[in-house]
Every structure is written in C-alpha cells, then in structure tokens.
Structure 1
C-alpha cells in the first residue's frame, strides 16, 4: 500500500508539535504571547552573536565550496543536461525562497531604517537616507541566500550523486550521525524543520494577506476585515493546492514562470515611468555602500548597549539577527526545494546560481520599489512615513503603488502578483513537507500527501489570524528554529565528509557515482640521448 511509504513518526510528530504550540495560544493568547515573546528576547539578546557568526561563516563556506574540487561535482549522471532551463530554475528558487514578503518589505523597509537608522545615526538625516536604501539589500542579499543554499548541498549530493531517493534533513546528516538518524534523533531533526517551516509560513501569511486585502479594498471598496482576509487565504490555498497536486513540472514550474514575468513587468513599468535617474543612481549607490561595508554590517552588534553611558538601540536584534533567524527557519525547506530542482547542474552552478540570482532579484525589488517610495518621501510628492503612522503598513504599500501612472491597473497587477507569490511559496512548501514525511521519493511525493500539507499550511494560521495570534506563531517558529543553528553545522560537515570520501575513492577522480570535470596535465616528453637519436637515423636508413 502507498501508505507504507509514509514516515508516520515524522508525520505525526510534526502535527503534534504544531498542535502543542497552537492550542495553548488559542486557549491562553495573552499568556502565550508573553511567554513566546520573552523566549525570543532571551535567545536573540543572549545568543544573537551565534546567528551573526553563522551567517558570515555559511557565506564563506559556500564560496569556498563553489571554487573547490567539490564544486565540480555533477548532480546527476555524466553528460546529463539540467532538468529545467535557467529561467524556470531561477524563477522557482526565487519564488520559493522569497514569496510575497519581498513585495511587502521591498516597498516599505527603507521607511523603518529612515526613522530608526543603524549605528546611532540621527533619524531622517542624510546619512540615514543613504543607509535606508542599502540595508534592505544587505538583509536580503548574499548571506540570506547562502543560508538558504547550505542545506541543498548534502541533500542534492545524496539524492543525485549517491542515488538515495530520500529528501530529508536527517538523511543529509548521516555521514556525521550515522545510523542514529534512523531513530528518534532523525525524527526530532525532521520534526523541528517541519515546525519551523509551518511557523515560517505563518510569517509569510501575516505579511502577505493584509497587503492583498488592502489591494482588494482599493479596487473594490470592500472593507479589509477578517472575512476578506480569510477569503484571500482560502483562495491562495486553493491555488497552491492545485499547483502542488499538479506536480513540479506542470504546476509549480508554470506558476513560477508566470510569477517572474509579471514581477519583471511591474518592476520595468515602475522604473521607466517612475523617477528613472533617481532609482538607478540610488540603487547603484546602495550596492556600493553594501559592498564597502559588508563585513561591518555582517558583524555589527551593540555590546555596550546595556551600559548606562552608551546610548545604543536594539537595531541588530530587531533587524539583522531577526532576519538571520527567519532565513534559518526557512533554510531547510528552500534547500530541499533547490536540491530537488537542480538535477543536471554542478554543485558550483547550484551554489553560485542560487546566491547570485537570488541576490540580484532582491536588489531589483528593493532598488526599484523601495527607492520609488523613498523618492516620494524626499520630494514631498507623498508623505509615506506620515501615512504609514496613520493607516498602517499594508495600506501604505498600496498607496505607494497608487502614485504610479495607470494606478488602478498597477494596483490590480500588484495584488495578483502578491497572490501568486504567496501561492508559489506555499505550493513549494507543501511539496517539500510531503517529501520529508515519505520514506523515499521516486519522482513526485504522493498526491494526497501533497494536498494534506497544502491545507495544513493554511489551517493553523487561519485559526490564529482570527484570534490575533499570527505574530506569536511567527515568533514561536523562530524560537523553535534555534536548534537549526547547530544542524546547519552538521549539514556542512556531512557534505564535506561525504564528498571528500567519494573523491578520494578513485585515484583519477572518476567513478560511477561522482563526476568531476578535470584538466589533466600532459606528461612532459623525455629528452632523448644522442645514442638513441643515432639509432633512429640508422633504422630509417
């Protein structure tokens, strides 16, 4: 029976943990919110340095892997072409890793830095403006995509090189943990990953649903109440359930392609018909600030913040550490998905492609959408900050889009894009959740399994949205994802240990299980002696 393919301890364990967190939040919302908030403050305040070190270390490790002999390993059989063309591959990994959150933060994140800048700068000053256009690119840039990419290394290696049809985080830790991954320890690793993903989905819904509701309100006049938000959430669920049910090539790929084309159209329209010179110059300037201060931004903490004589903020905890924790929660999922769609590519292509395409995509959103809003603020065309203080962030985002020519058409396209972005993230999530709870995945996960997790992704956030506890689930997932800090280390160690062992297994680096492109030096010709040359002449005569 097909139910025998299901890893029931992982399946039931993930549901049990989600219910164990959700039900108390439903029954005791205030106490639960306080407890989760205190736990989050404790972890980010006392162990924030671990997140910062993890982010920079993962980035450095992946750059090393990409340009080492390990980076030349082919994911698949020798001579095999990539399963998906570069455009579709980039579209799927970007849509899965970002979701509608890029529309939310890409448009408005600069406003928070403008009012509460880093490094103790004066709010709304010239320096604050410069950093406001750069810090979003940093938070959604190379380190974010490096955190996403790391889990893909061992997972893709075992799936395509060692031909093990298992898409599990625990399986990727086998070179280090051995057969212990077949028992309770492996189940705990997979359950923690699934809980983090389910909670991280709540974060995406918490940001995306109100923004979509505001777009619908702007177009139809309907109030953005809980009923409208619930309807939007159910609509997105139906879309990504159909997509997940259709499979990777017929559903997720097509939806991701549509998503990317629509996003490129909106960005191009805003760039051409908006303040083109300001957007281009501010974007390039922001890239320069980020590149020039990359290590400063990646290591900046406030160690003197608790001392009375120092007037410092909680910027690192509120932004950089929070973002690294958020990426960490999503990392195993995105890594699993990137691994699944990277057949036929080398490790180097997968690593550099994910980090480069992902970073470029985010820079485009922050550079065009974010700097368009900043331009409106600085020129006085629209008081973004004042409107946000009075009406909230989702309404402000839609009002920024309303400042474009053909405003209603652009709001409509923006709202549709947000719905598709939300759906592409969730169809990828349900696909991977279904893969994790199966003992092996030959081709596609079971369809009923995909549908089950598609609706499970929506059910709990929907309940908590009505109770006002969606932000608490988001925070709880970040707290629950703390052990992933150490699992990331295990994943890196596992990949290096397994790939190096296989590379050393053959003197000429050629074997049935590993394919590496090498350039062998030609042996130098030995100089002949005069006697040997004389013998050659005699033979010719």
Structure 2
C-alpha cells in the first residue's frame, strides 16, 4: 500500500468526526434526535434568508463567469479534446448529483405541495395544483445545479490549468488563504466537507432504500422489513464498491451510461402510454409559472408570519431552505466530481453544461413522473393523497408505477433503476472521498482507499437504520454543513483571483510579444532600407 500518499490528519479526522456524531445517536437516540432537530430549527429559522441569498448570488455569479473572459479558459492543454463524450459526461454528472432521490421526489413531491401549498394558497385548490407542478422543478432546477457547479470552478482550474494533482476543497481556496491550508485550517475545511457528504449520503439512503424495498415487496410479496432494507443496502454497497474499484472509465462511466439509458426508456414509456397530452401541457405550463415567478420563489421567506398577525406555514424553511442546505452539503462533492470529468472542456462549457443538462434531466423526471401521478389524482383513477397518508410515500411511489401498463415489468425496471441510481451516487462519492484524503491524485485514487470509503459510506447509515436515526444523521449533516456557506464564498473568490491573475499575465505576455514583434519588424524594415540605400549609392569607379 502506498500509505505515504494518504493525508492522514484528514483521513482520521473525518472518520473520528463521523463516529463522534454517530455513537451518541446510537447510545442516546431520543436525546440526540431532539438536540439535532432543535439545532436545525434554529439554523433554518434564523439563517434561512442567508441560504436564499446564497442561492441567488451563486446563480448570478456563474452566469457572469460563463460569459466573461474567464469562461473561455480551457481545462487542459490547448487543442485537447474532452476526456468523455457529451452523453457520458452528462450521464455521470447527473447520476452523481441526483441519485435515487430524484425517483422518490419526482413521483411524489407534488402531493406535499398540493396539501400544503406556498404563499397562503388554499390546500387542494386549483391554484395549489399550479404551484404543485412548478415548485419541484424550481427546487431541482438552475439554482440547485449552480450551487453544485461553483466548487468545480477552482478545483478544475487548479487540477487542469495549473497542473496541481490535488483534488481537495482546501487546495482550491489556497489563493485566498495561502499556506494556511497546509495546516489544521485546511484539514478542518476538508473534514467538514467529508462529514457533510457522509451525512448527505445518509439522506439518499433514507429515501432510496425503503422505496427499493417496496418495489421488491410489490414484485415478490416479501415484507419490506428491516432485514430486506439491510440486504438492499448491502447489495448497493457491493455494486458501487465494484464500480469504484474498477475506476472512472471502466466502472463509474459504464454504470452511469446504463443508468441514463434505463431512465430514458422508463420516462419515454410513461410519456407514450400515459396521459401524453396532459403531461406535455402541464409541464409546459409549469415552466411558464416558474419563469414568471422565478425570483418570487427564490426570495420568499414568509417574513410577515413572524408578526403573529398572519398564518405562518413554514413552507420556505421546510422546503426551499432545506433544499438549498442539502445541495450545499453535497456541492463540494459534486463539484469535485464534475471537475474531475471535465478535462478538455472550457469553463463555459462546464458551467452551462452542468446547469443546463442537470436542470433538463430534472424537468423530464418531474414533468413526466410527477404529472402522471397528478393525473391519477385529478381523474380519480387512483387516490394518491389518501393512499400516501395511510401507507407512506415509498409504498405510494411504487403503487403509482403499478398503474402503468405492464405494471410488474415497469416496477421491476423502476426498482433496478433506483438501485443503479443509488450505486452511481455512492461510487462517485467514494471516489471523491478517496481523492480528498490523498496528498495528490495522479490518474486514480488508490484502490484500497476507494474501497474503504465505499464501505464507510454504508456502515454508519446501516447502523443508524437499525435505530431509526437516518433522518437525524441527515439533519446533523445539514447543521454541520453551515460553515460551507463561507467556504463557497472562498471558492468563488479563489477562482476569480487565480484566473484573473493568469489572464492578466497572459495578456501582458501577448502584449509584450506583439510589442517585440513590432520592434523586430521595424528593425528589419530599417535594415532593408539601409541596404537599399547602399545598393543605390553610385560607386567611385562610376564617377
């Protein structure tokens, strides 16, 4: 083992922090849950507006970067072609950034908005339906993918332009913090990122595992109990461990490609055999609502509810602030991964591609799967709301898929897709965690390092699942991820500082080169003129 490559303070620190949070939750689950919930309520209630401002500022900043001179910078050598074709690149970034959570929320999120709509709208009204179709796309749209993309800027820049083989968040803020990132401060930054990712992974497992279990139950009749959920989690761990061990091109790329093709088939099938016209019109209408109310939705924090004279729904804290915090926790990981797979592209292509392809994918999932469930509800062919309130969301999601023709076959494909989606998120996560705890990454992180983090990602959530504490770990990661707001600001500052410095140096070099060439040209011209004068001067013999 090449243990000298490992950054042991970061490696051990992240593992100790995870155990330090998990063990108290194991020993004192009720007290731990109450404490974490109180901290989460305090954070979202008092700093919710900060998360909202962060989302808008990052979105505006990335649009500026994409169309500025900085956006033209090539990630790699001049003339170098992209390492991955556009299809595989889009598949990997989408699978890493979304995971099986998209299958969960795309199908059922509208039902929550329908029952508890924003802006004081009456529940289950016509207006509530309008907002229910648009808000899911908003929460999984451009701002979400902008938050994901920001960390990719400095990380990709240093890795491919300045040729520093280090995939660390701390290294990306070196232009601002200087050599301080080589000490404890840099370790703290990387450890906070890793803790957030490990906790965020718990959220994905908390949503994905019960849904997969309900799919298996629907197909086999086996109860979706704790034993089945544990078996599913171990199966997913085995898949993403093999994928992560195989590496980026032979494992993660192949799994992501399969994942995307299967998703395209399922979405296409629902669109064709389902209520095609309703899905098309409702999705198009939702995009219009979103476009017309984008800034209203991005800035609504329900301020008057605090005065006691208006009913406070808690919608912004429960949904928008929660989502922005969740994306923030995952952002350094997705940014690191997007940076790693974007070799040969320009900054502009990386930024716009991630935001556009990511948003487009989410629009298709929410537009097709979500509106299919909404159609069932509105036509009375299946009471989604009633079934969900009685049986829970995971069982309802599978039951909605059961309303399709070839129900068993589609549930099977849906379950397989959920397993692969879960695996693609985790193999990407283990790959990046392994990269962060290495001093440098030449090509691929060490294989044993990748396997270690693949099983570490599963171990703690598995223990907490037995105790019913997965949701608490997810909440703890969001609370612990609050300092990442500051780190995101440092990442943006670092990228602009480094890239602008290099652009100015390049401009000065080109300017001096042009000046020298002009000087040489003038000198050659004068020399030619002098020679011509000598040639034209008559000899003494001619006199």
TM-score, scaled relative to structure 2: 0.94
Partner of 2:186: 186
Unaligned stretches of 5+ in structure 1?
A: 512-538
The CA deviation at 1:409 is 0.2
Deviation sequence 1:299-351 (CA, Å, 0-9, x none): 00111212221112100000000000000000000000000000000000000
The CA deviation at 1:507 is 2.7
Distance 1:132 1:463 in 2: 35
Partner of 1:269: 269
Distance 2:128 2:509 in 1: 53
Distance 1:149 1:428 in 2: 15
| Secondary structure at the counterpart of residue 79 of structure 2 | coil
Tell whether 2:172 aligns with 1:172: yes
Distance 1:465 1:414 in 2: 23
The CA deviation at 1:51 is 0.2
Distance 1:470 1:221 in 2: 25
Cα RMSD after superposing both structures: 1.0
| Secondary structure at the counterpart of residue 254 of structure 1 | helix
**Contact map agreement 1:302 1:316 (CA 8 A) in 2:** yes
**Contact map agreement 1:54 1:485 (CA 8 A) in 2:** yes
Partner of 1:479: 479
Partner of 2:516: none
Partner of 1:73: 73
Where in structure 2 are the equivalents of 1:278-427 lying within 5 Å?
278-427=278-427
| Secondary structure at the counterpart of residue 305 of structure 2 | coil
Where in structure 2 are the equivalents of 1:17-36 lying within 5 Å?
17-36=17-36
Deviation sequence 1:135-178 (CA, Å, 0-9, x none): 00000000000000000000000000000000000000000000
Where in structure 2 are the equivalents of 1:188-203 lying within 5 Å?
188-203=188-203
Partner of 1:137: 137
The CA deviation at 1:125 is 0.4
Partner of 1:128: 128
Where in structure 2 are the equivalents of 1:143-158 lying within 5 Å?
143-158=143-158
Distance 2:510 2:217 in 1: 61
| Secondary structure at the counterpart of residue 506 of structure 2 | coil
Deviation sequence 1:178-209 (CA, Å, 0-9, x none): 00000000000000000000000000000000
Distance 1:389 1:127 in 2: 22
**Contact map agreement 1:503 1:509 (CA 8 A) in 2:** no
Partner of 2:498: 498
Partner of 2:162: 162
Deviation sequence 1:464-517 (CA, Å, 0-9, x none): 000010100000000000000110000000000000000001236769xxxxxx
Partner of 2:60: 60
Distance 2:253 2:31 in 1: 43
Partner of 2:222: 222
Unaligned stretches of 5+ in structure 2?
A: 512-535, 537-543
Partner of 1:468: 468
Distance 1:114 1:29 in 2: 33
Partner of 1:520: none
Partner of 2:112: 112
Partner of 2:429: 429
Shift in alpha-carbon separation, 1:510–1:232, aligned structure 2, 3 A:
farther
Deviation sequence 1:353-380 (CA, Å, 0-9, x none): 0000000000000000000000000000
In our comparison, the structure showing a higher alpha carbon Rg is 2
Partner of 1:41: 41
Larger helix share, 1 or 2: 2
Distance 2:273 2:440 in 1: 51
Distance 1:113 1:308 in 2: 23
Runs of 4+ in 1 over 6 A off after TM superposition: none
TM-score, scaled relative to structure 1: 0.94
Say which is worse superposed, 305-314 or 357-366, in terms of deviation: 305-314
Distance 2:56 2:116 in 1: 24
Distance 2:507 2:203 in 1: 49
**Contact map agreement 1:142 1:356 (CA 8 A) in 2:** yes
Distance 1:142 1:207 in 2: 23
| Secondary structure at the counterpart of residue 307 of structure 2 | coil
| Secondary structure at the counterpart of residue 158 of structure 1 | helix
Distance 1:307 1:50 in 2: 20
Distance 1:454 1:478 in 2: 21
| Secondary structure at the counterpart of residue 404 of structure 2 | coil
**Contact map agreement 1:74 1:347 (CA 8 A) in 2:** yes
Partner of 2:458: 458
Distance 2:119 2:203 in 1: 27
| Secondary structure at the counterpart of residue 418 of structure 1 | helix
Distance 1:346 1:224 in 2: 47
Distance 1:257 1:396 in 2: 28
Deviation sequence 1:511-534 (CA, Å, 0-9, x none): 9xxxxxxxxxxxxxxxxxxxxxxx
**Contact map agreement 1:150 1:491 (CA 8 A) in 2:** yes
Distance 2:32 2:161 in 1: 45
Distance 1:468 1:133 in 2: 31
